[in-house]
A and B are shown apart, each in its own frame.
Chain A
Amino acid sequence: MNNIRPGREVMVVGVGLHPFGRFPDKDLSTLAVEAVLPALKDAGVMWKDIPIAYFGHVYYQGMSLGETTLSKLGLTGVPIVNVENACSSGSTAFWQAYWGITTGLYDMALAFGAEKVPRGPVTVTAEDSPERYIGGDHMMAGYALRGKRYMEETGAPATALAQVTVKARQNATMNPFAHRKDTYTIEEVLNSRMVADPLTLYQCCPTSEGAAAAVLCAREDLAKYGIDESRAVSIAAAVLTSGDYNGRGADHSAFSPYRTEPAALQAYDMSGLGPEDVDLVQVHDAATIGELQQIESLHLFPFGEAWQGTVEGRTALTGDIPVNTDGGLLAMGHPFGASGIRMIHETVTQLRGEAGPRQVANARVGVAQCSGAGDVTTVHILKRG
């Protein structure tokens, strides 16, 4: 295993978000720019100050889209890197930005992500794949298989899974950027259209459009760019992993419910923090079962017990470990390239104490975890000051 050696301290100094939803009149570049500009403004820096940019996006909409997008802000000649890492594309862009700065290559970096996800079930493989005949290439069916097994092994009732959606929707009512703001009862969640048993429609995240951006800067360079240190949030850990062998097979969500654990352990090690230090967490809740298994993999709950913690309200905004405080994928929707940085946006907003009605009291340490096909996992730990 490579020895992780972070160098200088890196901080998130600006975040920006374009609302998530459906925007037929805006192309991807427009969405992206409308997240980048607020992030630059939030940081108090100019585009011409940015020495490198990383752009997370998945669906092909032409070559070098990051370059064409940022060209609207002026051609500055800086390196612009397009990043495709499935649902973790945005968080991978953020991870690259962190490592570019901590190692001393750059003072500052822009990480942004945007996506316009087509409607309908999401598949992973190409059109000529045998999977089309076999029927296994279905993201939500993969989560359903995990859900079915989890319920069998832990005794979790369907109502416990549904509570994850109920909570997400309640949090989203306090978030003006959310795709879905209607609240549901447990019964309404369970009575919505069945997608793949036990997952009903309201337990699966909407496919969405949206964009998110973050500006990162070395702590020692904040003054050089006139950045307000009091609103800067420190990055205590930045970890990216792919799948390791688990004895069952490769690269399908159904086969790998706990692939977050290795990334989480690395992140705790890198930060010197542990699960007991975490005040709030954003995880990859593409489906309700995903949230339960992710927070167990982050060691915030013992394996098999997250459903009980959810039923007891421990993951609600008022609980002891609030999860997906902005509504998560289940209410925000999931524009692949943007979601990972949307989690950073929410974590930074909470740690700054600027989350308004959904503010978690005394939030000091926040975790953002994102998963993607290919068993791509990112875990970032952010802390105040």
Chain B
Amino acid sequence: MTPVSVDPNRLKLTNDDAANGPLAGTLIGFRCKECGTSVFGYSIFCQSCTSSELEPVDLGTKGVLFSYTIVRIPPAGWPGDIPYVLGQVELPQGPQVLAEVVDCEHDDLKIDMAVTLTVRAVPAENGGPEKAVYKWRPAKSGD
């Protein structure tokens, strides 16, 4: 079965077919036409000025590591590895996005380092299609 976005309001899949290469996607949200504020995920009203004049916006796949922690005692239902790195990543448009940071050595993590979005398939908790989950990885030249 084809993986589905863990939250279609936050992650738009740009490739969900393994035959075409790795899973891929981009973060999405809304931008306020009145004050210019961008928010991650679904909004009906602007979080900053409360305007209803919002337009969908592609928030891309790049960010900077504002902070991170290595979670050794996970929350209930966590389906991944333990420990895992949780990153607080600031997008160029302003919003911050919490997600796991993968493909990294703990010692190589640095606050304010560049990171790139990656999409990974995670088994669904109650069966059904796998969840395509957005995660971060250290940016590489050529990203």
Interfacial residues of chain B within 35-73, with CB under 8 A of chain A in the complex = 37, 39-40, 47-48, 66-73
Q: Please, which residues of chain A bring their CB within 8 A of the CB of B39? A: 249
A132 within 8 A of B: yes
Cα of A322 to Cα of B78 in the assembled complex, Å: 39
Q: What's the minimum C-beta distance from A258 to chain B, rounded to whole angstroms? A: 14
Q: Mark B103-143, 1 if CB is under 8 A from A, else 0.
A: 00000000100000000001001000001011000000000
Bits for B88-100, please: 1 = Cβ < 8 Å to A, else 0: 1010001111111
* Contacting residues, chain B, for A194 (C-beta < 8 A): 70, 72
Partner of B94, one of A135, A141, A147, A248: A248
6 example contacts (A-B, Cβ-Cβ < 8 A) are as follows: A135-B80, A135-B84, A140-B73, A141-B71, A195-B71, A197-B72
Contact B70 A127 (CB under 8 A): no
Asked if A345 is at the interface of the complex by the 8 Å CB criterion, the answer is no
B21 interface residue per 8 A CB criterion? no
Q: Kindly list chain A residues whose C-beta atoms are within 8 Å of the C-beta of B7.
A: 130
Question: By the criterion CB–CB under 8 Å, are A135 and B131 in contact?
Answer: no
**A144 to B88 alpha-carbon distance, docked (Å):** 11
Task: State which of B67, B71, B84, B96 has its C-beta within 8 Å of the C-beta of A146.
Answer: B67
Enumerate the 4 nearest inter-chain pairs by beta-carbon distance, A residue then B residue, closest first.
Answer: A136-B98, A144-B69, A149-B67, A132-B77
Interfacial chain A residues near B22, Cβ < 8 Å: none
A133, A245, A248, A250: the one contacting B90 at CB < 8 Å is A248
- Cβ of A199: which chain B residues have Cβ within 8 Å of it? 69
Number of interface residues of B (CB under 8 A): 40
For B70, the closest partner residue in chain A by CB is: A197
Q: How many residues of A contact B (CB 8 A)?
A: 36
Distance from B91 Cβ to chain A, minimum over Cβ atoms (Å): 10
Q: Shortest CB–CB separation between residue B132 and chain A, in angstroms? A: 9
Give B contacts to A, CB under 8 Å.
Answer: 6-7, 10, 37, 39-40, 47-48, 66-80, 84, 86, 88, 90, 94-100, 111, 122, 125, 131, 133-134
In-complex Cβ contact of B96 among A130, A135, A152, A249 (8 A): A249
* A254 and B72 alpha carbons, distance in the complex (Å): 17
Count the A-B residue pairs with Cβ separation under 8 angstroms: how many?
Answer: 117
Give every chain B residue within 8 A of A145 (Cβ-Cβ). 66-69, 86, 88, 98
Contact of B71 among A138, A248, A250 (CB under 8 A): A138
A167 at the interface (CB under 8 A from B): no
* A residues in contact with B95, CB < 8 Å: 247-249
* Minimum CB–CB distance for A78 against chain B, Å: 37
Residues on the A chain within 8 Å of B6, using CB:
130, 133-134
Extra contacts besides A149-B66, A195-B72, A250-B47 (6): CB < 8 Å: A135-B99, A136-B98, A144-B69, A145-B69, A149-B88, A254-B96
Please tell me which one of the listed residues A123, A152, A245 contacts residue B111 in the complex, with CB atoms under 8 A apart: A152
Cα-based distance from A236 to B48 in the complex (angstroms)? 31
With A245-B37, A254-B67 known to touch, is A133 a contact of B133 (CB < 8 Å)? yes
Asked if A184 CB lies within 8 Å of chain B CBs, one says: no
The verdict on A255 contacting chain B, using a C-beta distance below 8 Å, is yes
Distance of A120 Cα from B77 Cα, bound (Å):
12
Are B78 and A132 neighbours in the complex by a CB distance under 8 Å?
yes
Contact A134 B134 (CB under 8 A): yes
Closest B residue to A254 using CB positions: B88
* Shortest beta-carbon distance from B85 to chain A in Å: 9
With a cutoff of 8 Å between Cβ atoms, the chain A residues found around residue B86 in the complex are 135-136, 138, 141, 144-145, 196
Q: A136-B98, A254-B98 are in contact. Are A148 and B47 (CB under 8 A)?
A: no
